[in-house]
């Protein structure tokens, strides 16, 4: 690793810029790939999509927004409660330590 850093430091400014652009592009692609995998994993939980029919055409925008926000709030609050419970269990763990 030290050799690679030394070689990068010895490059001229133009080559450093090219290396920076290439490594930044690779990093962006990696983060985008991770995001897509997470998005795909999240959507795979909901396989039973409801098909909109003509009866729902009379629903106003505010009703759709309200139901959507309620859905997001319920999911977000349950996730926050799960994280809080996990942290609480971690902090208040078994409090047993094995000494060898």
**Does 37 share its domain with 70?**
no
**Does 2 share its domain with 41?**
yes
Does residue 55 sit within a domain?
no
**Does 40 share its domain with 67?**
no
Q: What angle do CA 92, 93, 95 make, to 5 degrees?
A: 100
Higher pLDDT, 99 or 12: 12
**Does 43 share its domain with 64?**
no
Is residue 43's pLDDT more than 60? yes
pLDDT value of position 31: 95
Total domain count, the chain: 2
Average confidence (pLDDT) over 83-98: 78
Q: Print the domain residue range for 22.
A: 1-47
pLDDT value of position 95: 66
SS3 state at 46: coil
Average confidence (pLDDT) over 76-98: 82
pLDDT band at 87; cut points 50, 70, 90: confident
Question: What tens digit of pLDDT does each residue of 46-82 get?
Answer: 665 555 555 555 778 888 888 889 999 999 999 999 9
**Does 1 share its domain with 38?**
yes
Contact 44, 52 (CB under 8 A): no
Does residue 52 sit within a domain?
no
**Does 42 share its domain with 68?**
no
pTM for the model = 0.41
**Does 34 share its domain with 6?**
yes
């Amino acid at each position: 690793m030290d050799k690679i850093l030394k070689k990068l430091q010895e490059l001229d400014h133009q080559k450093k810029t090219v290396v920076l652009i290439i490594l930044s592009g690779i990093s962006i692609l990696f983060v985008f790939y991770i995001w897509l995998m997470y998005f795909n994993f999240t959507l795979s939980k909901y396989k039973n999509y409801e098909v909109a029919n003509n009866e729902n055409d009379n629903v106003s925008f505010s009703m759709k927004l309200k139901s959507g926000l309620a859905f997001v709030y319920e999911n977000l609050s349950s996730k926050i409660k799960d994280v809080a419970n996990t942290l609480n269990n971690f902090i208040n763990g078994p409090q047993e330590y094995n000494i060898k």
